[in-house]
Chain A
Amino acid sequence: MYTELSTVESREKLNGNAYLLKVKAPQIAKSIKPGQFCNIKVSETNYPLLRRPFSVCYAEEDSVYFMFDIQGEGTKMLAEKKPGDRLNILGPLGNGFDTEGDYDTAVLIGGGIGVAPFPLLTEKLEGKEIVTFVGARSADHVIKWGMKNIVTATDDGSEGFNGNVIACFQSEVHKLEKRKIRIFGCGPNPMLKALQKEAINKYDCQLSMESAMACGFGICQGCPIKKSQGEGYYLVCKDGPVFESDKIIIE
Chain B
Amino acid sequence: MIDLSVQIGKLKLKNPVLLASGTVGYGNEIAELTDLSKLGGIVTKSLSLKPRIGNPPQRVCETSSGMLNAIGLANVGVEVFIKEKIPFLKKLNTTIICNIAASSVEEYVECTRILTREEAIAAFEINVSCPNVKDGGLEFGNNLQAVAQITNKVKAVTDKPVIIKLSPNVSRISEFAKAVKDNGGDAVSAINTLVGTAFDIWTKKPKIKNVTGGLSGPAIKPVALAKVLEISRNVEIPIIGIGGIMDWKDAAEFMIAGASAVQIGTVNFINPKAGEEIIDGLIEYCKKMSIGRIADLTASYEI
A interface residues (Cβ-Cβ under 8 A, vs B): 1, 3, 41, 46-51, 88, 90, 211-226, 231-233, 238, 251
- Contacts A211-B57, A222-B59, A233-B54 given; indicate if A3 touches B32 (C-beta within 8 A): no
Residues of B within 8 A of A47 (CB): 64-65
CB <8 Å contact, B33 and A50:
no
Residues of A within 8 A of B58 (CB): 211-212
Most chain A CB neighbours (cut-off 10 Å) among B33, B60, B74: B60
Complex: chain A residue closest to B218, CB-CB: A46
Minimal beta-carbon separation of A249 from chain B (angstroms):
11
Decide if B13 is an interface residue (CB 8 Å cutoff): no
- Contacts A3-B272, A50-B270, A215-B268 given; indicate if A222 touches B60 (C-beta within 8 A): yes
A-B contact pairs, 28 of them (CB 8 A): A48-B62, A49-B62, A49-B65, A49-B266, A50-B67, A50-B270, A211-B58, A212-B58, A212-B59, A214-B269, A217-B29, A217-B32, A218-B25, A219-B268, A219-B269, A221-B22, A221-B45, A221-B59, A221-B74, A222-B60, A222-B71, A223-B57, A223-B59, A223-B60, A224-B56, A224-B57, A231-B53, A251-B56
**Partner among B30, B54, B60, B65 whose Cβ is within 8 Å of the Cβ of A46:** B65
Contact-residue bracket for chain B: 35 or more
Residues of A within 8 A of B268 (CB): 215, 219
Residues of A within 8 A of B29 (CB): 217-219, 238
Report how far A214 CA is from B30 CA in the complex, Å. Answer: 14
Decide if B95 is an interface residue (CB 8 Å cutoff): no
Complex: chain B residue closest to A224, CB-CB: B57
CB <8 Å contact, B57 and A220:
no
Report how far A1 CA is from B272 CA in the complex, Å. Answer: 11
Residues of B within 8 A of A223 (CB): 57, 59-60
CB <8 Å contact, A3 and B270:
no
Report how far A1 CA is from B273 CA in the complex, Å. Answer: 13
Decide if B217 is an interface residue (CB 8 Å cutoff): yes
- Contacts A49-B66, A222-B71, A231-B53 given; indicate if A3 touches B273 (C-beta within 8 A): yes
**Partner among A3, A49, A215 whose Cβ is within 8 Å of the Cβ of B218:** A49
- Contacts A49-B66, A50-B67, A215-B268 given; indicate if A225 touches B57 (C-beta within 8 A): yes
B interface residues (Cβ-Cβ under 8 A, vs A): 22-25, 29-30, 32-33, 45, 53-54, 56-62, 64-67, 69, 71, 74, 217-218, 246, 266, 268-273
CB <8 Å contact, B270 and A220:
no
For the complex with contacts A214-B266, A231-B53, 4 further pairs of A-B residues with Cβ separation under 8 Å are A90-B272, A214-B67, A224-B54, A233-B54
Report how far A220 CA is from B68 CA in the complex, Å. Answer: 12
CB <8 Å contact, A220 and B33:
no
- Contacts A50-B62, A232-B53, A233-B54 given; indicate if A222 touches B69 (C-beta within 8 A): yes
Complex: chain A residue closest to B247, CB-CB: A46
Residues of B within 8 A of A224 (CB): 54, 56-57, 59, 74
Residues of A within 8 A of B66 (CB): 49
Minimal beta-carbon separation of B142 from chain A (angstroms):
25
Residues of A within 8 A of B270 (CB): 41, 49-51, 214
Minimal beta-carbon separation of B234 from chain A (angstroms):
31
Residues of A within 8 A of B71 (CB): 220-222
CB <8 Å contact, B59 and A1:
no
Report how far A232 CA is from B56 CA in the complex, Å. Answer: 9
Residues of B within 8 A of A231 (CB): 53
Residues of A within 8 A of B64 (CB): 47
Most chain B CB neighbours (cut-off 10 Å) among A218, A222, A238: A222
